[in-house]
């Protein structure tokens, strides 16, 4: 028995829907008591089916299609029959059982696929030859099979569910990013710091603007889906997030040079953070209503990228240094509790991730550097057993999380294909744009990095080609795509489907093509060379302390005592500060000492190199020594669970340092060549030969120099087109906090604009469905399609909503208006029934990233371009505040509505209205239409009649400032009222409140009044077509028939 204040619900696999509205909804209590779990609302959204979300309103109960009736009685106390005789409580129980069964089946299949992937990955990793297909490709293939099974055996689930992007961002990505930072070999990263920074920061920004610019340019030609500038660059940012997991695995198998490995690995680590920051900033532009990207806001975005990056690193440092200090000063007895130590480390990292996200920084960058700092300080403040367990825990979690993402990608292609919009022309242009953007990123940045490198450290042309080819897309890009918000849902769907295709194509095709490319350029180490080199006994000679090593192409990530220490420059200054001040305070060993866990890592590498010691009974901890690991083939056996990308780098560098120096000395001895000139030689493994250009280098140089020229031209073109004479507009501000600071949108004027106006629709009954169907049919013929919707109030009956997750929002709004033409901004006004609920809940719902509502405050204004050099100034008022809460009381206002208003707030709003209406046109605008929208009508000839308060105080302002039209709901009808003053001026009032609630009747003798131009007492909506010289209003009924048409001329 539920306590008072709790409602009956129907449980479906991914959402909670209301059957009977009784009193106030308490979702938290309901979820904890009925479902039996208390989960993080952001991650699992209180869903029994935790990983997926509902995408359609229709569900499956007892083997039949079932659609609830959400209409409620006047008292709201009767439990409604759901469908086919099933009561609300019975349906809830059935749904709960069905959702639980599906969840169990889903988790069972995913666990089975993960287990199969572990076995496959193990066999691939043990293979003596580089595998043609990567582990990521196998995961995608398994996902395709799973999706096909879902589509065949559970077709309704394939329609109802999709991945919740917040599961990716808050549950799956953190272990992947943290593990990469924790296991990163810092010397290899920082010795190539300048090159990695150029590729990952500057290069990612170049790729973002070039990819977005190409898509925008082709879209303007009409060949592909035409995105706005902000949407195009938003996509350019997310698709610039590279994830070369398959490439690095192939690198390890082929034994590529350490410099190449470190550049690709290092770029991929920071590139993700830059892409996410850029994505977030462009998403912010879209949410604020800015459709175009000028040179000014593009430059601001670039500055913010650097600012957010540095801020994220600083935040991570504060959190990590704090936890490191606590661990260092903790009671030594704590080391007897590994679970507590590991919890402190993990929670500190996750805290930096969440805080960074909360304050507008980059959680990915903060988490990555948290991993770097924790491996440098925390690891030496905890017990050896804790350190070992932590390494394995992070590696295993990252392995499983990344596999899950790729499984879901494959599943989405088949099972959820109907959720996406596939524009194959857009996909083709996107692939070409990505390749061009990657080329103009890689070659110029590597050439620039070479300017600051010595001759023996320069990045060869062949490396640049491989780096360009290694630009695979993966989990980050896919997660960002699922998180895309645009006012046009079709555009969002195109972005998501294109991202899915790009990730799968690059993972499969480019991943499989990496080995042939490496062999073509001679960047692989053959087994014959390794055996011949090993026979010379060069291993032991190469790790001598006095041996000189190239900082860029060889470093010792395993043995600190043999590292060549260089205390010059910024790196040297940091080392001195670290050794003298930071390590004594926060933990860490001096550079000439070695942690026992690292000794174990050295021993593990040696045993992995020696097949005779792979038995578990030989796996014991070894002591510190300086003898180098014995080399066998580069395909050393290692478990896929214990071998992360960063550990691949560690083991790879341990072997390749030996190989590189050995080949270098052998070339000096056998050929007497200059050992400092690095030129790959095709067909014989990568080797060191005198300076000189091979045949392939000529065309590589030509492409690189050509790409540099194209890049310069593109930048000049962007600069020229980005400073067009346009303004971001003039913000309308009031003297009160209750005011939206939404800027005007004055770039990219359309030829003409259409929109829909209606209200009083949130009933959930058959009348609302009929109007929704009529909207779908009518908007399919509108040219241009509607750019936005004016929602004139009473979005949800009967008493508004009580929370941003109110199930009525899904049932009575989201599921009703799924037509792609209506996935545009809905400018929402507060109605009297809305006022009886929580207005704060409305504001919170409007603030959600996937919400269609635009409602930044209780009242607000916005300027929109609607025609050449013409804007619409839309002023949305809170009529509940203006009408209720005053003396004498309006009898139509309930006590709850009166509580939402006061004399002070009403006066403040009137001042704001006058200030907004009196504001002039922004610069660059020749004409400005002005429309005011509220819920209460000024004049009306139906049941609710005129509103004296608005006639006395609002109407004079409408006349004074030449407002072209006033749109409202409240009266459940469609009316056109025109008031003509004695001076001949006229004002138009359009009442559109026939969205679904019971139709009102006209007042007696209303049709005889000349002010009533037309009245339609039927359900329907209004369609508005606005040009530079006039706007046309049409009244459309629930059968899509046009009942009345009128034109309002510009004056």
- pLDDT of the residue at 677: 38
- pLDDT of the residue at 406: 81
At 332, is the pLDDT very low, low, confident or very high (cuts 50, 70, 90)? confident
Q: Which residues contact 654 (CB under 8 A, 6 or more apart)?
A: 556, 557, 558, 605, 629
At 507, is the pLDDT very low, low, confident or very high (cuts 50, 70, 90)? confident
Cα distance between residue 144 and residue 406, in whole Å:
10
At 192, is the pLDDT very low, low, confident or very high (cuts 50, 70, 90)? confident
CA distances for 509 relative to 280, 473, 518, 520, angstroms: 29, 12, 15, 17
- pLDDT of the residue at 539: 31
At 102, is the pLDDT very low, low, confident or very high (cuts 50, 70, 90)? low
Residues 978-1001: pLDDT tens digits?
998 887 788 999 999 999 999 999
At 918, is the pLDDT very low, low, confident or very high (cuts 50, 70, 90)? very high
- Asked if 938 and 989 count as a contact pair (C-beta separation under 8 A), the reply is yes
At 698, is the pLDDT very low, low, confident or very high (cuts 50, 70, 90)? low
- What's the first-to-final CA gap in the chain, in angstroms? 63
pTM of the model: 0.52
Q: How many helices (H) and strands (E) does the chain have?
A: 37, 22
Q: What is the SS3 assignment for 543? A: coil
- When mean pLDDT is compared across 319-323, 397-401, 839-843, 898-902, the lowest value belongs to 898-902
Q: What is the SS3 assignment for 260? A: helix
- Residue 142 vs residue 253, higher pLDDT: 142
- Asked if 607 and 632 count as a contact pair (C-beta separation under 8 A), the reply is no
Using the predicted structure, report yes or no on whether residue 889 has a pLDDT greater than 80.
no
Percent pLDDT > 90 in the chain is 25
CA distances for 678 relative to 529, 634, 673, angstroms: 17, 21, 11
Using the predicted structure, report yes or no on whether residue 693 has a pLDDT greater than 70.
no
Mean pLDDT of all residues in 437-463: 88
- pLDDT of the residue at 436: 92
- Residue 220 vs residue 130, higher pLDDT: 220
At 712, is the pLDDT very low, low, confident or very high (cuts 50, 70, 90)? low
Q: Which fold has domain 753-1049?
A: Purple Acid Phosphatase; chain A, domain 2 (3.60.21)
Q: Longest Cα pair distance anywhere in the chain, in angstroms?
A: 111
At 615, is the pLDDT very low, low, confident or very high (cuts 50, 70, 90)? very low
Other CB atoms within a 10 A radius of the CB of residue 15 amount to: 25
Mean pLDDT of all residues in 826-851: 90
Domain boundaries, the chain: 8-112, 161-520, 563-592, 753-1049
- When mean pLDDT is compared across 177-186, 265-274, 628-637, the lowest value belongs to 628-637
Length of the chain equals 1051
The domain at 161-520 falls in which architecture? Answer: Up-down Bundle (1.20)
Record the tokens describing residue 128, joined without a space: 């003596």
- Residue 804 vs residue 129, higher pLDDT: 804
- Residue 719 vs residue 584, higher pLDDT: 584
Mean pLDDT of all residues in 563-588: 70
Average pLDDT of every residue of the chain: 73
Element (H, E) at 980: strand 974-980
- Residue 416 vs residue 821, higher pLDDT: 821
Residues 617-647: pLDDT tens digits?
343 334 334 333 333 333 333 444 444 444 4
DSSP states of 211-232: HHHHHHHHHHHTSS----HHHH
What is the sign of the dihedral through the CA atoms of 338, 341, 347 and 353? Answer: negative
- pLDDT of the residue at 599: 54
- When mean pLDDT is compared across 100-114, 443-457, 762-776, 921-935, the lowest value belongs to 100-114
- Asked if 729 and 711 count as a contact pair (C-beta separation under 8 A), the reply is no
Q: Which of 1-5, 403-407, 924-928 has the highest mean pLDDT?
A: 924-928
């Amino acid at each position: 028995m539920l306590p008072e204040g709790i409602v009956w619900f129907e449980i479906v696999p991914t959402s909670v829907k209301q059957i009977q509205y009784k009193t106030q909804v308490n979702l938290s209590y309901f979820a904890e008591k009925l479902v039996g779990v208390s989960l993080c609302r952001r991650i699992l959204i209180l869903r029994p089916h935790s990983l997926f979300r509902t995408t359609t309103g229709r569900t499956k109960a007892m083997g039949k299609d079932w659609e609830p009736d959400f209409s409620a009685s006047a008292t709201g106390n009767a439990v409604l029959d759901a469908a086919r005789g099933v009561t609300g409580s019975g349906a809830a129980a059935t749904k709960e059982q069905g959702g639980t069964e599906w969840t169990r089946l889903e988790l069972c299949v995913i666990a089975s696929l993960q287990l199969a992937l572990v076995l496959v990955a193990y066999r691939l990793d043990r293979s003596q030859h580089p595998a043609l297909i990567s582990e990521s490709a196998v995961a995608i293939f398994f996902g395709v099979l799973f999706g096909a099974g879902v589509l065949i055996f559970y077709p309704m689930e394939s329609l109802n569910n999709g991945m919740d992007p917040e599961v990716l961002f808050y549950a799956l990505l953190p272990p992947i990013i943290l593990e990469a930072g924790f296991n990163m070999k810092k010397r290899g990263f920082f010795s190539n710091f300048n090159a990695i920074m150029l590729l990952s920061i500057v290069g990612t920004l170049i790729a973002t603007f070039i990819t977005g610019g190409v898509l925008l340019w082709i879209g303007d030609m009409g060949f592909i889906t035409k995105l706005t500038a902000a949407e195009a660059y938003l996509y350019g940012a997310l698709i610039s997030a590279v994830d070369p997991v398959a490439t690095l695995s192939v690198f390890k198998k082929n034994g590529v040079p350490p410099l190449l490995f470190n550049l690709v690995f290092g770029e991929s680590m920071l590139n993700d953070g830059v892409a996410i920051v850029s994505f977030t900033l462009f998403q912010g532009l879209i949410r604020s209503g800015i459709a175009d990207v000028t040179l000014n806001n593009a430059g601001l975005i670039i500055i913010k990228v650097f600012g957010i990056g540095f801020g994220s690193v600083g935040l991570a440092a504060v959190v990590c240094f704090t936890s490191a200090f606590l661990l260092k000063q903790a009671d030594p007895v704590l080391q007897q509790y590994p679970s507590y130590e590991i919890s402190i480390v993990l929670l500190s990292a996750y805290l930096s991730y969440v805080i960074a996200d909360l304050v507008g920084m980059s959680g990915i960058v903060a988490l990555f550097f948290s991993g770097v700092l924790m491996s440098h300080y925390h690891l030496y403040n905890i017990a050896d057993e804790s350190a070992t367990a932590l390494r394995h825990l992070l590696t295993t979690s990252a392995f499983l999380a990344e596999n899950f993402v790729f499984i879901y990608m494959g599943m989405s292609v088949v099972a959820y294909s109907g959720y996406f919009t596939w524009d194959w022309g857009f996909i083709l242009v996107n692939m070409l744009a990505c390749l061009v953007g990657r080329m103009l990123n890689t070659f110029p940045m590597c050439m620039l990095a070479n300017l600051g490198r010595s001759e023996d450290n320069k990045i060869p042309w062949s490396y640049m080609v491989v780096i360009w080819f290694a630009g695979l897309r993966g989990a980050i890009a896919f997660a960002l795509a699922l998180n895309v918000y645009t006012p046009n849902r079709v555009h969002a769907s195109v972005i998501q489907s294109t991202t899915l295709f790009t990730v799968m194509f690059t993972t499969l095709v480019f991943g499989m093509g990496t080995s042939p490319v490496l062999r073509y350029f001679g960047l692989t180490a053959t087994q014959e060379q390794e055996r011949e080199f090993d026979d010379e006994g060069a291993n032991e000679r190469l790790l001598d302390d006095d041996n000189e090593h190239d900082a860029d192409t060889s470093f010792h990530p395993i043995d600190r005592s043999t590292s060549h220490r260089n205390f010059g420059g910024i790196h040297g200054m940091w080392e001195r500060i670290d050794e003298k001040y930071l390590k004594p305070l926060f933990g860490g060993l001096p550079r000439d000492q070695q942690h026992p866990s690292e000794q174990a890592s050295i021993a593990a590498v040696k045993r992995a190199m020696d097949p005779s010691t792979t038995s578990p009974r030989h796996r014991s901890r070894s002591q510190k020594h300086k003898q180098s690991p014995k080399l066998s083939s580069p395909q050393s056996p290692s478990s896929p669970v214990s071998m992360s990308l960063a550990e691949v780098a560690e083991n790879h560098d341990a072997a390749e340092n030996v190989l590189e120096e050995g080949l270098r000395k052998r070339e000096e001895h056998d050929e007497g060549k200059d050992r400092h000139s690095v030129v790959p030689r095709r067909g014989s493994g990568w080797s060191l030969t005198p300076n000189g250009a091979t045949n392939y280098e000529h065309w590589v140089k030509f492409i690189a120099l050509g790409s540099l020229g194209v890049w310069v031209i593109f930048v000049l073109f962007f600069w020229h087109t980005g400073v067009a004479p346009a303004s971001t507009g003039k913000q309308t501000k009031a003297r009160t906090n209750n005011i939206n600071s939404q800027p005007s949108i004055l770039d990219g004027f359309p030829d003409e604009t259409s929109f829909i106006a209606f209200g009083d629709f949130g009933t959930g009954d058959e009348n609302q469905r009929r109007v929704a169907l009529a909207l779908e049919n009518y908007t399919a013929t509108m040219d241009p399609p509607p750019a936005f919707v004016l929602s004139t109030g009473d979005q949800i009956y009967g008493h508004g909503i009580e929370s941003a997750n109110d199930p009525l929002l899904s049932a009575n709004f989201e599921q009703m208006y799924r037509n792609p033409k209506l996935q545009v901004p809905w400018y929402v006004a507060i109605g009297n029934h809305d006022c009886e609920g929580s207005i704060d809940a409305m504001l919170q719902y409007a603030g959600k990233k996937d919400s269609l509502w635009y409602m930044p405050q209780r009242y607000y204004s916005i300027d929109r371009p609607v025609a050449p050099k013409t804007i619409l100034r839309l002023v949305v008022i809170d009529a509940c505040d203006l009408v209720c809460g005053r003396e004498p009381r309006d009898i139509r206002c309930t006590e709850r509505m009166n509580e939402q208003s006061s004399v002070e707030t009403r006066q403040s709003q009137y001042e704001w209205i006058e200030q907004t209406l009196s504001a002039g046109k922004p610069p660059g605008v020749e004409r400005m239409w002005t429309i005011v929208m509220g819920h209460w009508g000024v004049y009306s000839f139906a049941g609710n009649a005129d509103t004296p308060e608005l006639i006395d105080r609002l109407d004079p302002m409408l006349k004074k400032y030449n407002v072209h039209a006033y749109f409202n709901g409240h009266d459940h009808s469609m009316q056109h009222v025109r008031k003509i003053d004695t001076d001949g001026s006229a004002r138009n009032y359009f009442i559109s409140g026939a969205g679904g609630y019971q139709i009102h009747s006209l007042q007696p003798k209303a049709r005889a009044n000349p002010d009533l131009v037309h009245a339609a007492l039927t359900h329907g909506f209004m369609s508005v077509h606005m040009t530079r010289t006039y706007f046309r209003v049409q009244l459309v009924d629930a059968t899509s028939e046009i009942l009345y048409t009128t034109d309002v001329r510009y004056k």
